[in-house]
Chain A
Amino acid sequence: AQSVSQHNHHVILSEAASLELGCNYSYGGTVNLFWYVQYPGQHLQLLLKYFSGDPLVKGIKGFEAEFIKSKFSFNLRKPSVQWSDTAEYFCAVNGPPTSGGSYIPTFGRGTSLIVHP
């Protein structure tokens, strides 16, 4: 089974501050890693994903994430946040496969980010 931990449940920052949201997972085999964002009143959107290659992944709106296999981590970063980044952020991990061969993502509990102007 897979578990996904997001260490920060609520983060409050001022504009231009740097952001790092932690995500750790438990499964030691092949995984795919995702960050999703949910802006207030909107549906969940894919922010970025890692499946192979360069462990530093760049996503939309200036976000990036680094996959560190030895630490089972996939932390989300942004050098300078904006008020419009206020949202809830979810880390998700695919793997291991179910008995039927399906890859189902396990989601973390989410981090609520509030950015003050």
Chain B
Amino acid sequence: DVKVTQSSRYLVKRTGEKVFLECVQDMDHENMFWYRQDPGLGLRLIYFSYDVKMKEKGDIPEGYSVSREKKERFSLILESASTNQTSMYLCASSPPRQSLNYGYTFGSGTRLTVV
């Protein structure tokens, strides 16, 4: 089975800090995604990447950036954390971008609290 590992389960950071959320997948998937999950809002796409060094903005990219230097690793960066970025962050991966019929494998999530 594909495994998607997020480095931290819980994080508490201060307003203004630069925050790195790390995600690693072990099945050579081309696509990787970062979502945030908030009650009543479901999952909202922040950024995704379909290849090394390639990225596209999702629905809510403001205040975030990403890095994909290696195929297996996709990092989400909060340049200057704010309290409205307190949320559950989910990483996911999937096979090639032209494929319609693949589901996504999700990591366990990182619950970030910004104080």
The finding on whether chains A and B are genuine partners in a shared complex, rather than unrelated, reads yes
Interface positions of A (Cβ within 8 A of B): 6, 9, 30-32, 34, 36, 42-46, 49, 51-52, 90, 92, 94-95, 98, 100-105, 107-110
A44-B90, A98-B56 are contacts. A105–B104 as well, Cβ < 8 Å? Answer: yes
Return the contact of B103 from the options A34, A42, A52, A98 (Cβ within 8 A): A34
Return the contact of B97 from the options A30, A32, A95, A102 (Cβ within 8 A): A102
Alpha-carbon distance between A108 and B99 when the two chains are bound, in angstroms:
21
CB distance from B86 to the nearest CB of A (A): 18
A-B contact count (CB 8 A): 65
Please determine whether A43 and B42 come into contact, CB atoms closer than 8 angstroms: no
Alpha-carbon distance between A52 and B99 when the two chains are bound, in angstroms:
13
Interface positions of B (Cβ within 8 A of A): 31, 33, 35, 40-45, 48, 50, 56, 58, 90, 92, 97-101, 103-109
Please determine whether A90 and B48 come into contact, CB atoms closer than 8 angstroms: no
A30 contacts across to B, CB distance below 8 A: 100
> A-B pairs with the 9 shortest C-beta distances?
A51-B101, A109-B42, A46-B103, A107-B43, A102-B97, A44-B106, A43-B108, A32-B100, A110-B42
A108 contacts across to B, CB distance below 8 A: 42
Please determine whether A43 and B109 come into contact, CB atoms closer than 8 angstroms: yes
Return the contact of B48 from the options A46, A51, A102, A109 (Cβ within 8 A): A102
CB distance from B48 to the nearest CB of A (A): 6
CB distance from B78 to the nearest CB of A (A): 21
B104 contacts across to A, CB distance below 8 A: 34, 44, 46, 92, 105
Please give me the residue from chain B that is nearest to A103 by CB atom. B100
